[in-house]
Each structure stands twice: as structure tokens, then as C-alpha cells.
Amino acid sequence: MKWHLGSFLCLGYLGVAWASSTSNVVDSSYADPCAAIANETWVSPQEARKCFGSFPVDPDIKTNIIEVLNKSLAFHASVNYQRQAPPPFEDIHEDVHGDLARISSQDYSSDFDLHLETVHALKRLVDGHCFYMNLCYDSLYTTYLPIPLALLTDELGVQHVHVAPEAFKISSTEFGEELKFWQDALPEDLRGKLELLSGAEVLSIDGETPFATVNASAVQTGRMQAFATRQNMFFSSYGRTEAGWVYYFGDFAAQSLPLKDSVALTLRIQSGSDIAFANVTLPYRSRLSSSVEPWTNASTFWANNCLATNSTNGVNLYAKPNVVVDSGERPQQPFIDPALVRARLRKHHKNELFDASMAQNIELPAEMTPSSPLNGSSGVAQFYMLNASVTDAPTGVLMLGSFSASSFNELQSSLLDGLKNLKTEGAEQLIVDVTNNGGGYICIAHWLHRIIAGPRGTTVPQAGLQTQTRASPLAQLIVKHIAGGADPENLLLYNPLNWEYANNTPIPGEEDWLQPPVRKTVNGVEDMFSQRLGDECQPFEMDPPAEPLFDSNKVVIISNGRCASSCSLFSISMAKREGATTVVVGGKDDVPQQYCGVVGGQSIRFPNIDTEIKASELAFSAPLCRV
């Protein structure tokens, strides 16, 4: 079975992928529910659940999963902090190791039920960097409604939940002929008139007030630390990817697991001056991911989508012959000339949120996108000038959908060129829109901070924040072996040459930099961390301007609170050190909003850690799953 776990390393995350070589299939005496839906693009959630629920629990696999989760979580920095998070996050209090012990001793009727219990335990950490997903189940289908919701404010300043005004336009474009299924499911007087629901006020959801449902979703969805941000995730929103502008349906109308069959709504529908009230029950529909391998029955479903692949675990970089590594699995540590490795490849490490809901890539209609961007715009970075009628001074806008891109250098250049061009256009103020920005390259966050604010004590030699890594016993063993010569070509993340002391001077290659560990007591639990670590990025690979591009006091950072990882590094540094203003759009007006969703730092996935273990000759010490 393939699954991924993410956790922090240097306040980032470690991703884990595990795979079983066993064949886990349904009893042949029963009808095969996976055969019944084999390769169907659209199915009901019930049909998808029947297939998922047909695989029994394998006791050995269950034991292995729990063991690996427990041992891998030792790399995650916030586990003990989330036992009782500090204000204003007092609603977070998860003992994940205790929950895993409970899950270990409990019986489950299916492997899918075991998965749900496990994934919910990890979600209760409410930390988007620490994720657990099983590729047999999570996002294999996305379960949709054609009516994403929005929180709108009327002319009196009162907020109401509505079906998004653009809902029918988005859904008819995205779902095509499948929309007829929902059209036919409407009550007789509305049948075939789904477009009338767009903009309707939602008076109740499944018999509850709308925000009772919003709050219930916020409790269980995980990912973002602030309750307010998790409320916002219920609603539709927009974003920017390298490919273009995208639309996110939100947690109400797009779900990564087929758990809900239908929803009952009471609506207030206005058409011109006419107002009508309607009770509507709409079914959810589950759409198969385009990346899924085809299957014909339960056995081939399991074999094609649940077993190990070449990218599931790490590799020994010093093995002969060399193993080719999927670039998608090791974007921070590719196979390249060792001379380039010595050029401090850590600058290209990512600190990025893993969020399946942000991978839907539903295109935003052209009429809802901004006008043509200015010079310097490229991919995730788009530049505009605000209309002079809406601002007191010429104001430039940077829409930055991510701190990640297919080319680090091109993103770095785009940000500099675009901001310079805004100055040429006369911009005296700057708005940076980081709505739904899940993070990316740490050094792009440092770079953007540096070029906006200019050279000063808060940007040189360190334009970000100092950090620490959790010094688990296994991490200490890795560093000990590397310091003893196990990584002569500096290919590994834990190599001392990749890090600097808190005073921003390099750590020597032979230093065991996790010794002695810094001992802390966190919520009554003894823990160990590294010494404080300094700069990761400077000198930059291109020269930054000698002067600030903008007065930081005239910079506004806007988001819906869903600004995570490297986005948080940038936003926090600009707000706390440079005096930039932060604004959260959306959200319930009586709930305090937070402008960042998840803390930032170095982040990697499990194949990277597995590679550290294997390449540093610690294979027999590794908390690995069987493959």
C-alpha cells in the first residue's frame, strides 16, 4: 500500500511513502465492487466506498504502518507542541502517539476504516506539513457538488452564506455532460434550472445553520493552524499556478474522500424582484483522478494503485550502478555534477504545504481573471497596476500564487524584473496577494523580502528566520555517520556543509552538528533539538538591488489566511521586521483572523530521509516499512 506522511524538519516537513508487497484482495465469494466501477469517470460516493471498504485489514501491514508512523514522527518538530498549542490556538490538543496506540489495539472492519482513523489522528495535529495519505484512497476520487459556497456581505454589512454567484458558470464548464445528473436531481419545479441556485442565500445545511456546518468542517479538516482559516477553507476561492488562474471549490463542494452522499439545503432564491424559498437535496458525485492506473477488479485495483513504485522510498546515492531517481520525488537533491552540489544546493530546498484540495486545477473563467499582466509576469508571479480611481497613490500589485516553480532561477528573475517594472510604471505602494499560497522555495521567500526591503540589518546576511531541527536519535545517527565521512560528495541534506551557525558562518564538514542536542520540555514531554541555525540563502545567485524597491511601510500583504510554509516565512518577516501591513480577506467578521496558516522552515519528503539513511549506511537502523 502506498502512503505518504509529512513532518517537520527544521520546522519543515518530512514526507513518508510506504508500500506493501503483499496482495490484499477481497474474498472471491463476494461480488467485486471494484470491478463494478472499474475505470468509470463518475461514480456515486457509495460505489467508491464499497470498493475501498472491500479490502480487509492485514494485521502485519497495520502493525507496520503504526510502527513507521511513530518512528517517523520523531522528525516532526511540532508533535509535542500540539499536545496543547499556545494561544490563540487553544483548540488544538492532540496526543498523536496516544491515538496511534489506541488505533493499534483496536479492530477495524476494513483497511479503509483503518485508514480513516489514522488520517483523522494526523489531521488533529492541525499542521499541513504533517500529513498522512494513502494513495489507494485519498484523492483517487474527488467528490463534488456543483454549488460551491461563498461568504458574502450585504449592503448593510451583514454576512450571509450563499451559493457562489459564479457556481453554474464554473460547474458547467468543468463538469460538462455530468451536470445533467445534478439538473435531473433537483425538485420538480427547479429541474433543469440549476443556474437559478447561483447566488442563492443558504438558510440551512442538513437542518443546521450554515455556520454550524462550517464550524464542524473546520474542526475536522486539519491543515491550517487557525480555526478562522479552516472556516475560510469551507468556501470557494481563487489562486494562481504556473499554468494560469484556478478556482478552488472549497471543502463543502470538493472533498478528497467519498464520505458524504448528499446534502439537504434550504435556499432563498432571488430572480430579479421575485423571491422564492426552496428545499433542495443534491447528491455528491465522485470523479476519478486522471493520474489513476486503470483496473478491472479488486486485485488489479490494488496492484496498480496501492503497491510500491520506484519512487516510493529513497535510494543509496552511492550505490553502484547509480539508480535513476524520479525528479518529482527528489526536487531538492537531484543527480547533478558534484561541483554544482558544492554550490550550496540547499538554496533550492522547499518549504511547501501538501494539500490535495489545491491540486484540483479547475480553470478560472476568462471573464473572472484580471486584465493583461505587466512585463515581468511569468507563471505564478503576475504584476498589475491598480486603477488610479481606487487608490490614493499609484499602487502596484504582485499576485504570487506560490513560492515554488519549475525553474528556481526564472522565478527569482521574474520577481525582480516585475517589481522593477512596477517602479517604472510609477508605483509608490505595493500590494502582495498571497491568497492560497502553499509555500515553496525558502530562498525565494528570502529573496523577495530582501529586494523589497533593501539591504539592512533585517535582510543581510539573513533575510529570513533562524531555526532548529528536531534532533531525534535517528537524525543524530545520520549526522554522526556523515561527519565521519559517509557523504564525501555532499549529496545529503544532513551534511554539515549545508548548514550555518546562528552567526551565519559555515559549519565545518567534519562537525557532528547535532551534538550536544538542546534538551527542552514541551508540554511536559522531554524533547531534543539542534543548535540554532542561521542563513541558508546568501549570497544569492543573482545580485539584489542596492536600494529598497519599496518602502516596507507602504507594502500590504493580502491573503485569505491560507498562506503557508515559505509564504509564512515571507509574511511574518515582512510584518514583524519591516512594518508591512497584513490583511485577511473573507472570514467571519466576529472571528479573529490570522494572516498565516502554517509555520515555515525546511521541508522534505520521506524518500529524502530514506535516502539519507541508506546513503549514510544506516539501512538497518531505519524505521522503514517493508517493501
pLDDT per position as a tens digit, 386-397: 998 888 999 999
**Helix 473-481 × helix 606-615 angle, to 10°:** 50
Q: Is the pLDDT of residue 101 over 60?
A: yes
Q: Does some domain include residue 525?
A: no
When pLDDT is cut at 50, 70 and 90, the band that residue 96 belongs to is very high
In a domain, 557, yes or no: yes
**253-262, 336-345, 375-384, 418-427, range with the lowest pLDDT:** 336-345
Phi, psi torsion values for 360, nearest 5 degrees: -75, -30
User: Which is more confidently placed, 623 or 414?
Assistant: 414
- 100 & 132 share domain: yes
Query: What residues contact residue 208 under an 8 Å CB cut-off, 6+ apart?
Result: none
CA distance 361 to 438: 14
pLDDT tens digits for range 114-123: 999 999 999 9
Which contacts (CB < 8 Å, 24+ apart) does range 24-29 have?
24/55, 24/56, 24/58, 24/61, 24/111, 24/302, 24/306, 25/55, 25/298, 25/299, 25/302, 26/54, 26/55, 26/56, 26/298, 27/56
Quick one: pLDDT band at residue 68, thresholds 50, 70, 90? confident
C-alpha cell, 600: 515555515
Tell which wins on pLDDT, 313 or 471.
471
Q: Is 12 a residue whose pLDDT tops 70?
A: no
20 bridge partner residues = 307
Task: List the single range of 332-341, 365-374, 398-407 with lowest mean pLDDT.
Answer: 332-341
Residue 619 has pLDDT above 70, yes or no: no
* Cell of residue 514, nine digits: 547535532
Do 156 and 127 belong together in one domain? no
The residue that leads in pLDDT, 67 or 618, is: 67
pLDDT of residue 571: 97
Q: Round the average pLDDT of the chain to a whole number and report it.
A: 88
Q: What is the pLDDT of residue 129?
A: 85
C-alpha cell at 488: 564525501
Q: What pLDDT shows up at residue 100? A: 98
Give the angle subtended at the CA of 380 by the CAs of 376 and 596, to the nearest 5°: 120
Of residues 15 and 421, more confidently modeled: 421
600 — pLDDT class (breaks 50, 70, 90): low
Per DSSP, the residues of 379-446 read TTEEEEE--GGG-SS-EEEEEE--B--S-HHHHHHHHHHHHHHHHHTT--EEEEE-TTB-EEEHHHHH
Per-residue confidence (pLDDT) for residue 64, from 0 to 100: 86
Q: According to the model, what pLDDT value does residue 259 have? A: 98
Residue 428 lies in a domain: yes
Cβ pair 483, 477 in contact under 8 A: no
On the question of pLDDT at 553 being above 90, the answer is yes
- 95: in domain: yes
Give residue-wise pLDDT tens across range 119-168: 999 999 998 888 888 889 999 999 999 999 999 999 999 999 999 999 99
Residues 372 and 407 in one domain: yes
Does 527 have pLDDT greater than 70?
yes
Percent of the chain with pLDDT over 70: 86
- Torsions phi, psi of 586, nearest 5? 80, -175
Q: Name the band, by pLDDT with cuts 50, 70 and 90, for residue 454.
A: very high
Residue 600 lies in a domain: no
Spatial strand order of the sheet with 201-205 comes to 149-153, 159-163, 201-205, 262-271, 274-283
CATH code of residue 186: 2.30.42.10
Q: CB under 8 Å to 59, separation ≥6 — which residues? A: none
pLDDT attached to residue 599: 75
Q: Side chain identity at 163, as an amino acid letter?
A: V
pLDDT category at 523 given cuts 50, 70, 90 is very high
pLDDT at position 81 over 80:
yes
Q: Does 8 have pLDDT greater than 70?
A: no
- The reply to whether 160 and 263 lie within a common domain is yes
Determine, yes or no, domain membership for 96.
Answer: yes
User: 21 lies in a domain?
Assistant: yes
Q: Do 415 and 559 lie in a common domain?
A: yes
d(CA 584, CA 597): 11
C-alpha cell at 41: 469517470
**Which CATH number covers residue 548?**
3.90.226.10
Q: Do 65 and 186 belong to one domain?
A: no
253 and 121 in a single domain? The answer is no
* End-of-domain residue from the set 584, 602, 620: 584
Q: Are residues 300 and 381 in the same domain?
A: no
Q: For residue 342, count other CB atoms closer than 10 A to its CB.
A: 11
Please report whether residue 49 resides in a domain. yes
Q: How many CB atoms lie within 10 A of CB 227?
A: 21
pLDDT band per the 50, 70, 90 thresholds, residue 466: confident
Residue 154 C-alpha from the chain's centroid: 32
In this prediction, residue 304 carries a pLDDT of: 92
* 413, 390: one domain: yes
pLDDT at 309 exceeding the cut of 90: no
Size of the chain, expressed as the number of residues it contains: 627
Domains in the chain, number: 3
Please tell me the pTM assigned to this model.
Answer: 0.89
What kind and span of H or E run contains 340? helix 338-341
C-beta separation of 463 from 449 below 8 A: yes
Say yes or no to pLDDT of 1 above 70: no
How does residue 307 score in pLDDT terms, banded at 50, 70 and 90?
confident
> Is residue 551 over pLDDT 80?
yes
Average pLDDT rounded to a whole number, residues 10-30: 41
Average pLDDT (432-439) is: 96
In which band, very low, low, confident or very high, does the pLDDT at 378 lie, cut at 50, 70 and 90?
very high
- Averaged pLDDT, 463-472: 91
Helix (H) or strand (E) holding 217: helix 210-220
Gyration radius of the chain over CA positions:
25
CA distances from 184 to 110, 140, 269 (A): 34, 26, 19
User: 370 and 385 in contact (C-beta within 8 Å)?
Assistant: no
In a shared domain, residues 93 and 178: no
Question: 217 and 258, same structural domain?
Answer: yes
Residue 274 and residue 165 in contact, taking contact as beta carbons nearer than 8 Å: no
Report d(CA 1, CA 302) in Å as an integer: 8
Residue 606 confidence class, pLDDT cut points 50, 70, 90 = confident
Hey, is 240 helix, strand or coil?
strand
Q: Are 392 and 255 in contact (CB under 8 A)?
A: no
Q: What pLDDT does 536 receive?
A: 83
Residue 544 lies in domain: 356-464+540-584
Residues 299 and 423 in one domain: no
For the chain, report the end-to-end CA distance as a whole number of angstroms.
Answer: 9
pLDDT above 60 for 10: no
Q: What is the pLDDT of residues 415-432, one digit of tens each?
A: 999 999 999 999 999 999
Summarize pLDDT for 575-591 with one digit per residue, the tens.
999 999 999 999 999 99
The C-alpha cell 511540532 sits at: 78
